[in-house]
Amino acid sequence: MRYRKDKEQTPLYIDKTAASKLLRLFEYEFEALCIIKHVHPKTPENKKERRKYGDKETLYLRQDIDYLRKDALAETMREKRSWKWKMQKITGLQDEVRLRKAKEHYKTILKKQERLVDETLLEIFPTFEDALSTLDDTLSFVFFFSTVSKNDRIGTELIDECRELSRDFLETVTKHGLIEKAFISVKGLYLECAIRGSPARWVMPHTPAHDVPGYAEPEILGAFLLLHTRKLHFVLHHLKKTLGDRTPEKRLFSGKRVFFSREVPSKALRCIVASLGGEAGWDGPDSPFPAAAENTTHEVVDRTQIESAVLGRKYTQPQWVVDCLNASQVLDENKYAPGQHLPPHASPFEAEDSFALVKKKRGMQITDRHGHVVKTSLELHEDIKYETSEDEELEMTAMEPRDRKLYKKLKRKDRMGTTKR
């Protein structure tokens, strides 16, 4: 008796090499396409299904690859690659007329790619609020690459675009006084602004110029840059349209002129002063006022002694600007005078209901950032003990019975040893 063979089902998953061949793309082009279209690798939950693919680590859903095959962006990437090769060939032939025409056509392909990326972003973030929810990564990425030294691996045009976008974004948030919090760390200066009640946090690196490491693939970085720059273009356009020319009338530093000495990295601090309504000057040709200006109220220095102090001018250290922003008030300049031991610089990004002081003597009161008493440190100590006992119970439930018995015996011995001491 003959049995009819069942038709072979198409596999649910496909590895990266097969997917890139199916799309007629190189692997780095396929990865760039997945980054832009937000297609992520998937791991089969079923162990039997996982064994079918052997040692192939990176797997994608066949359904996602079929979706990418119909997408116009894949065709644009193939066209971009072919015209890039044609331009290299024409450059070797030294035909200027054909080379000029090829460059013009290549620019049209790049514009078409940007338009398709914009359409993809509108699919992923249909509203402005959706775009604001993931603005942190976009800002950190763009601000980091604005400090990268120009090189041929990434392209000078993308780096110039990052610098222009970061400058434009800082001008917009400082003009309307949107910067609310800041924190100085080893990585750089963290800033946070509120756009429509949604906080956006990013870091501005201290180092003026970075180099791209050799192991980083420029095509992958270019895909991330293209995605984030187009997204920031959209956010900035919508932000300028909604805010208009309205600016707050009176702010914290209104009427104050702050000059930054040449040893102070003042780019980010100048933005804070401008956001608070003050006027910032620095040691440079583009400064709005010089160091010898008579109506300068404050001078920020990073040295222990002042050689020739100006009467009527208050001298502070850079932390004073950041702490004034976080405290929402003008703090005493004498505590931040040159050579003084600075107050502790606490991060303002903690939760509002967190304790301001954790490591205190037992019996002392714990207050939040507004000075309200939350609880005593004795109560806090009891809470910590309760949380640790809960964690131990969870760990014990995950153990084997034999290991759980041994763990209890060791804990009992440890407890007896502490009581004897």
- Give mean pLDDT in consecutive 10-residue pieces for the chain, a chain of 421 residues: 51 86 90 90 76 74 89 90 86 83 88 90 89 90 87 79 93 90 90 88 82 77 89 91 76 88 87 90 85 86 83 89 90 88 84 41 44 48 47 60 70 59 47
Which of 104, 121, 138 corresponds to the end of one domain? 121
274 with 229, same domain?
no
CB atoms within 10 A of CB 115: 14
112 with 141, same domain?
no
209 with 271, same domain?
no
Instruction: Find the CATH number of the domain harbouring 326.
Output: 3.40.50.10190
Per-residue pLDDT tens over the stretch 238-277: 888 888 776 777 788 888 899 998 888 888 899 999 999 8
Does 73 fall in a domain?
yes
181 with 277, same domain?
no
Tell me the residue range of the domain where 374 lies.
353-405
**First vs last C-alpha separation in the chain:** 84
Give the whole-angstrom CA distance, residue 162 versus residue 266.
Answer: 20
Give the whole-angstrom CA distance, residue 166 versus residue 142.
Answer: 7
Residue 156's pLDDT is: 81
Residue 392's pLDDT is: 59
| pTM of the entire predicted model | 0.74
Give the whole-angstrom CA distance, residue 412 versus residue 421.
Answer: 15
Does residue 258 contact residue 272 with C-beta atoms inside 8 Å?
no
Does 27 fall in a domain?
yes
Does residue 294 contact residue 330 with C-beta atoms inside 8 Å?
no
Does 415 fall in a domain?
no
75 with 35, same domain?
yes
312 with 361, same domain?
no
294 with 186, same domain?
no
Residue 385's pLDDT is: 46
Give the whole-angstrom CA distance, residue 13 versus residue 50.
Answer: 10
Residue 395's pLDDT is: 61
Give the whole-angstrom CA distance, residue 387 versus residue 107.
Answer: 60
Does residue 189 contact residue 123 with C-beta atoms inside 8 Å?
no
236 with 134, same domain?
yes
Q: What's the chain's Rg over C-alpha atoms? A: 29
Does 411 fall in a domain?
no
Which of 56, 86, 121 corresponds to the end of one domain? 121
Does 419 fall in a domain?
no
Does 382 fall in a domain?
yes
Does 251 fall in a domain?
no
195 with 290, same domain?
no
- Work out how many domains the chain is built from and give that number: 4
CB atoms within 10 A of CB 326: 19
Does 262 fall in a domain?
yes
Which of 304, 336, 368 corresponds to the end of one domain? 336
236-253 burial, b for 16+ CB within 10 Å, e for fewer?
eeebeeeeeeeeeeeebb
Residue 415's pLDDT is: 59
